[in-house]
Amino acid sequence: MTHADSSPLARPDFGPALAAARAAAGPQHYPAGTLYMVATPIGNLADVSLRALHVLQLADAIACEDTRHTQQLLRAYGIDGKPLLPLHEHNEAEAAQAVLERLRQGQRVAYVSDAGTPAVSDPGARLVAAVRAAGLAASPLPGASSVTAALSVAGAVAGSDATGFVFAGFLPAKSGERATAVQRLAAEPRAVVLLEAPHRMAALAGALAPLGERPVTLARELTKQFEQVATLPCAGLATWLAADPQRLRGEFALVLHPAAAAVQNADEHDRVLLTLLAELPLKQAVKLATELTGAPRNALYERALGLKADNAAPKD
């Protein structure tokens, strides 16, 4: 999700950490023939877990999103001599078969993305699905994630009746599709986590602008030297980014705070939809509900589909 800092200044001596990893994590059983999904730092190399270091030392092979990046990461920790298997978004289906063969031979294979927790807006999901489908084991080694890191400092659900959050990840690259995606999120009563690359942040800011005063927390360069976290209205995001060229550098995680109006009016919208759906076809009911409530049509349409499905489901 975000890329770990590989600069020499960011590299302490991890010799003691490797010894501590063996002492702390070594007694645990690590079954052979298992895929280990290993979270790696999103910026600060010191955020690696002791179990991650131990399993990376123990693994017979390491599958990875970018072999050059992973080689640098392993060298920073003092881990050498591990076979690296490239497995990224362009070859995941084929490369997964090579991993399956190693697992069938009883090998331990670790998988790491460039940074963060694998298979969360990163390659790895297809690999795990293939491993599960083959009846083989996969084990998670939790750790750094830009998603949970951004949520932890956003305060996005304080004072709200909404619970949980929605992970939307990267929105579509095409402007029309991106605008449609933002429109769908407009009435979401929960916090929404977005990810974005620096070269597309200006476009995302423009897409979020119609949300007006709805707060968004922007977390840039999380855990790195120039980490920056700011909360501001969606309408002001583009201006804030343009005020300093440095603000468009680095990887971004954003938390779109719950829409206050949507949280307050969700029950009322449901009441209107249920009343109209009882008498009218779905499209006509949604059209009329949009006129009555002023809520986004796409959001009401998706909610209407959910209400119809709930009503059609057999009751216990």
Where does 44-134 have alpha helices with state H?
A: 50-58, 67-77, 92-104, 125-133
CA distance 219 to 250: 10
pTM to 2 decimal places: 0.77
Looking at 3.40.1010.10, 3.40.1080.10, 3.40.50.970, 3.40.50.10540, the CATH number of the domain 8-144 comes to: 3.40.1010.10
Give percent above pLDDT 90 in the chain. 73
Convert the pLDDT of each residue in 240-283 to its tens digit: 999 999 999 999 999 999 876 544 566 778 888 899 999 999 99
Convert the pLDDT of each residue in 28-66 to its tens digit: 999 999 999 999 999 999 999 999 999 999 999 999 999
The confidence band for 188, taking pLDDT boundaries of 50, 70 and 90, is confident
CA distance 14 to 12: 6
Integer CA distances (angstroms), 48 to 15, 40, 74, 152, 257, in order: 13, 6, 11, 18, 29
**Domain 147-258, what fold?**
3.30.950
Q: What is the C-alpha radius of gyration for the chain, rounded to an integer number of angstroms? A: 23
Which string of DSSP letters, residue by residue, matches 251-293? -EEEEEPPPHHHHHHHHHHHHHHHHHHTTS-HHHHHHHHHHHH
Which pLDDT belongs to residue 310?
74
